[in-house]
Structure 1
Amino acid sequence: MDGLEVLPVRGIGDVTAGDDLAALITTNAPWLRDGDVLVVTSKIVSKAEGRLVEVPADGPEREEARERALAAETRRVVARRGPTAIVQTHHGFVMAAAGIDASNVDKTHLVLLPADPDASAHALYDALLQRGLRVGVIVSDTMGRAWRNGLTDVALGAAGIEPFRDHRGEIDPYGNELQLTQMAVIDELAAAGELVKGKCDQVPVAVVRGYPGAGTARGAGAVALLRDAASDMFSLGTAEAHAAGLRDAATLPDVAAGTAPAASEAIARALATAAGLLAEGTAVETTPGGLRCSPPDVTAAGLMRFGAQVHSLRAALAAEGLSSTITYDGSTALVTIFAA
C-alpha cells in the first residue's frame, strides 16, 4: 500500500426519511471512483430509513421518553453509573446509551441506530453498483473504549470490503509466525474517515482512497467483528460482575460440576481469598480431594457462623473455576473439590 487519501463529501445537507443516499452522495462527490471506500455516518442512514423517535423537547417527559427508547433498544445492561448506561444492543454492539443520539437532529427527536447496519451498507453498495461504481461502504458510529479515554469511530456495517486484514500465518522480519493478528481494517478506515467529517461540520460522508481490494467483493460485514459471549472476558462492568458473583455464590449447587481433581494452585488461591473471612482459630486442613474445616466455636451461634464461612470458601473456590460439595462429620465440614 503506497498511502491513503481521506476526502470529505460536502454539500449533502440534512437528510430526511426516504432520501436516496446513493443519489445524494454521487451528486456531491462526482469524483467518486472504483476502489474508493465510503465512510457514511450511521445517523444519516438512520434518518433516511426513518429510525427516529419523537420525544418532548425538554422537561422530565423527555428523559422518560429517552429511557423508554433505551430500554427498547437494549438486549442487556453491561454497566450503569448514574445516568450513563453501557448496554449491549439487539445488534450485539456494546456502547453507551445503545447508540441513541440527540445531536444533529431537532430537539423533538432522538436518532436510533439503523435496524441492520450491514443490510444498510449492502443496500447502498448495490445502489452505487447500479450507477456503475464498485466501492466499499462502511456505516460508522462513535464509540468509547473500555480501557482508554476518548472516543473513536468504528464500523457498524460494511459491504464491498473485507472486515479484517488477516496476518495469521505470516512470518515477521525476525522469523516469528504471527498467530493472532487480525487487523479490524473497517474500524481503522471508519476512524480515518471521522478525521475529515467532524461532529459539527455537517460532513456525514468521507471517502478513503487507496485501500487495496475495496469494491471487489461483498465482504462478510461488520457483524464479523462482534465478539460472542463465550470469548468475551469483559462482558460486565466491575460492580455488575461483583453483584452477579454474589448472586451465584448465594445459589451454589451441592452437586459437583466435574470429576477431575482440582489443581492445588487454584485451591491455594481460593484459600488466600477466603482467609480473611474465616473466624480466627478455624482449622483448614488439605486432604486428598478436598479440605477439612473445623470451627473454633461449637456453640449453636458459632456453628451458624461457621456454616456461612464455609459457604464463602466454596464461593472463593467457584471463582477459581472449581466446583465443590460439602458434607458434615459432626461439627467438621468436609469440602470435596473438583475441576469444573
Structure 2
Amino acid sequence: MTDEVRLIPIRRIPEARPGDSVAELVLTGMAACGLTGEEGDVLVVTQKLVSKAEGRVVALAGIEPSPFAIAYGQRWERDPRQIELVLRESARIVRMDRGLIIAETRHGFVCANAGVDLSNVPAGYAALLPLDPDRSAAQIREELGERVGWTPAVIVSDTFGRAWRNGIVNVAIGVAGMRPLRDYRGQRDPFGNELRVTVIAIADELAAAAELVMGKTEGCPAVIVRGFRYEPGEGSARELLMPAERDLFR
C-alpha cells in the first residue's frame, strides 16, 4: 500500500529540438533544479517534449489540404491544413460534427484530432503524436540508466477528453518499466465482497496526478512521482486500450 506520494516538477528543461535526447534534457533540468533520482521513482514526460525531440512537429505551410479538408475547414472555420493532418494521422474517423473530429489513431487511441495539436509549438506548426510512445518511454528509461544509473518507470502522457464529462485529463500513451494496470479481481473488499471487474488504470492515474504540477502554460514537461509503489514489469500503454470486442460504443 502507498501511504504518501510526492509530485516533483522538473521546471528548467531546455526547449527540445529534433534529434535531442529526452533523457539528457530531463537530466539537464534536474541538475538546474537541484534534483536527483531515487529508486522506485516514476518519471512522467509530456508527449509534446517527446514529439519535438523525435521530429514530430510539422510546418503547416508544407501541408496541401484535400478538397474535403478545405470544405470541412471552411464550413467550421478551421484551418484546412490542420484538418488534413488529422485525416492523415487517423486510422478511423469515429465522429465528425460541429468542427470537432474524434478519431482513432494508428496506435489505437481514440481522441480529438488524432492527437494533432497546435499548442506549445510555434505559430504555423503542429505537433503529432510519437510514432511509438512505448518505444519512446523505453528509450528514455534505458538512456537514464546508461547515463546516471537511474531507471525509473517512464510514462509518456498526453491530454485527452472524456465522454460524458467536461474537462480534459492527462493519460498514459507510452509506458516502460511498470505494469499500467492493477488487477483487483478475485480479491475481497473490507466487507468480504469479491471484486469481479475492478482493474485500476494506474498509469493513467499517475499521468493525471503529474499534470497537477505540470500545468498547461508553465512550460514544465516532466514530473517525478515519488513514493508510489507500482508493479515493475514490461508494460505497454496498449494494455489500457479497450479491445474492440468489449467496446460497447464502437
Same fold (TM over 0.5): yes
Match of 2:55 in 1: 50
Q: 1 or 2 for the larger relative contact order (CA 8 Å, sep ≥6)?
A: 2
How far residue 220 of structure 1 moved from its aligned partner, in angstroms, is: 1.8
Matches within 5 A, 1:25-44: 25-29=26-30, 30-44=35-49
| AA aligned opposite 1:233 | L
C-alpha deviations, 1:269-313, integer Å up to 9, x for none?
xxxxxxxxxxxxxxxxxxxxxxxxxxxxxxxxxxxxxxxxxxxxx
- Give yes or no for contact 1:13–1:202 (8 Å, CA) kept in 2: no
**Is the counterpart of residue 231 in structure 1 residue 250 in structure 2?**
no
Matches within 5 A, 1:85-234: 85-130=101-146, 131-213=148-230, 216-217=232-233, 219-234=234-249
C-alpha deviations, 1:206-258, integer Å up to 9, x for none?
111011146x43x22111011121111112xxxxxxxxxxxxxxxxxxxxxxx
Q: Which runs of 4+ in 1 moved over 3 A?
A: none
Counterpart Cα distance in 1 of 2:84 and 2:226: 41
Counterpart Cα distance in 2 of 1:10 and 1:32: 15
Counterpart Cα distance in 2 of 1:95 and 1:163: 19
The structure with the largest alpha-carbon Rg is 1
How far residue 186 of structure 1 moved from its aligned partner, in angstroms, is: 0.2
What is the Cα-based RMSD across aligned positions, in Å? 1.6
Percent sequence identity over matched residues?
A: 45
Counterpart Cα distance in 2 of 1:213 and 1:194: 18
How far residue 122 of structure 1 moved from its aligned partner, in angstroms, is: 0.6
Counterpart Cα distance in 1 of 2:241 and 2:84: 25
Counterpart Cα distance in 2 of 1:78 and 1:168: 31
Secondary structure of the equivalent of 2:16? Answer: coil
Counterpart Cα distance in 1 of 2:25 and 2:105: 29
Taking structure 2 as the reference length, what is the TM-score of the superposition?
A: 0.88
Match of 2:12 in 1: 11
Taking structure 1 as the reference length, what is the TM-score of the superposition?
A: 0.66
Match of 1:267 in 2: none
| AA aligned opposite 1:53 | V
Q: How many residues align?
A: 231
- Give yes or no for contact 1:26–1:32 (8 Å, CA) kept in 2: no
Counterpart Cα distance in 2 of 1:213 and 1:233: 30
Counterpart Cα distance in 2 of 1:164 and 1:76: 26
Match of 1:336 in 2: none
Counterpart Cα distance in 2 of 1:144 and 1:151: 4
Where do 5+ consecutive residues of structure 2 fail to align? 63-69
Secondary structure of the equivalent of 1:56? Answer: helix
Where do 5+ consecutive residues of structure 1 fail to align? 236-340
Counterpart Cα distance in 2 of 1:123 and 1:203: 20
Secondary structure of the equivalent of 2:196? Answer: coil
Secondary structure of the equivalent of 2:79? Answer: helix
- Give yes or no for contact 1:21–1:124 (8 Å, CA) kept in 2: yes
| AA aligned opposite 1:107 | A
